[in-house]
Amino acid sequence: MYSSSFAPGGICSTSKPRGMPLIFVPTPLGNLRDVTLRALDVLRDAALIVAEDTRVARKLLHALELSGREIWSYREQNAAAATPAILERARSEIVAVTSDAGMCGISDPGSELIAAARAARVPVEVLPGPSAALGVALLSGFSLRRFAFEGFPPRAAAARRERFAVALRSGVTTIWYESPRRLRATLADLAQVAPSARVFVVREYTKLHEQQLWGAPQDVLNSLPEPVRGEVALAIAPHAMEPEPPAAEEAGAAIDALLASGRRVGEVAKLLAARGFGERRQLYARAAARKARREASINQK
């Protein structure tokens, strides 16, 4: 039988929430042997199981020989309506909350339910267990002194590229989930933003046909099967982004100032390229054109 840490003496608090715990139970990502003994205890003893998708939950429970349990649906679309009844049951009975796979609340419904339980003084437990985000982070071999879970990239290409640019400038390893239908477009956008970035992709993590791919975005893209199937997670290593060139107006003003100080066109191009204003050849052409216009204006006077 499951023994809750909220039993008498189980926590050090002068104002302990009352009732049975609302227990968040991670479920296997693919391999059923990844289920923990504590998870089995909770799923066996819970009076109610709350699931993201009741059909997925019934299949899992059947595979674990725990069929015939009462299951309620809890997802983004019905969360507001379902929450009060779930918390009411948790005041007197053990209620287990599961996601379709992995840790509840990580890109799945759940964190709002915990917040509501805290506000209602219903005790909450979260069992340790499978997490694709942590799995891909460790498998990547990238630095994890600091890392960020970014969830799913935006669906629109422009927004996706901007999000990658911001993440890369953060200087930490970033972890992402992605739909197999969008993975090719996502890697293509990453290649456009940072072609030399290091990326690690895991497809079907812990499952029979698991695939791990490392390399530059385009290399990984070229190695993908056709079609791409299964759950996908990826890690992007810290990457030094090229600084964005200054605005055209700022570069023009800098060129004019140096020309006015008597610098030659070649010197102007060399100095401004070193300051990050752009490529030396392009700066030379701009400086030469601006010098010609400046001299023509003086001659007209």
Reported as a single tens digit per residue, the pLDDT across 122-147 is 999 999 999 999 999 999 999 999 99
Closest to 74 measured CA to CA, from 66, 64, 63, 85: 85
Lowest mean pLDDT among 49-63, 79-93, 191-205, 249-263: 249-263
- Type of residue numbered 189: D
Winning range, highest mean pLDDT, from 107-116, 215-224, 276-285, 290-299: 215-224
pLDDT at 232 over 90: yes
Residues facing residue 98 across a β-bridge: 51
* C-alpha dihedral sign at 230, 174, 35, 99: negative
pTM, entire model: 0.70
CA distance to 45, 102, 107, 108, 109, per residue, from 177 (Å): 32, 13, 9, 12, 15
pLDDT at 76 over 50: yes
Q: For 217-224, what is the mean pLDDT?
A: 96
Q: For 152-179, what is the mean pLDDT?
A: 93
Q: For 162-172, what is the mean pLDDT?
A: 92
What's residue 127's pLDDT? 95
Q: For 199-207, what is the mean pLDDT?
A: 95
Q: Is the Cβ–Cβ distance between 82 and 48 less than 8 Å?
A: no
What's residue 273's pLDDT? 83
How many CB atoms neighbour CB 195 within 10 A? Answer: 10
Q: For 36-47, what is the mean pLDDT?
A: 95
How far from the centroid of its chain's Cα atoms is residue 249's Cα? Answer: 37
Tokens of 7: 């039993």
What's residue 21's pLDDT? 86
Helices 248-260 & 265-274 angle (0-180, nearest 10):
130
Write down the mean pLDDT value for the chain: 88
Q: Tell how many helices (H) and how many strands (E) occur in the chain.
A: 11, 10
What's residue 15's pLDDT? 44
Angle at 204 between CA 162 and CA 57, to 5 degrees: 105
* C-alpha dihedral sign at 198, 181, 130, 152: positive
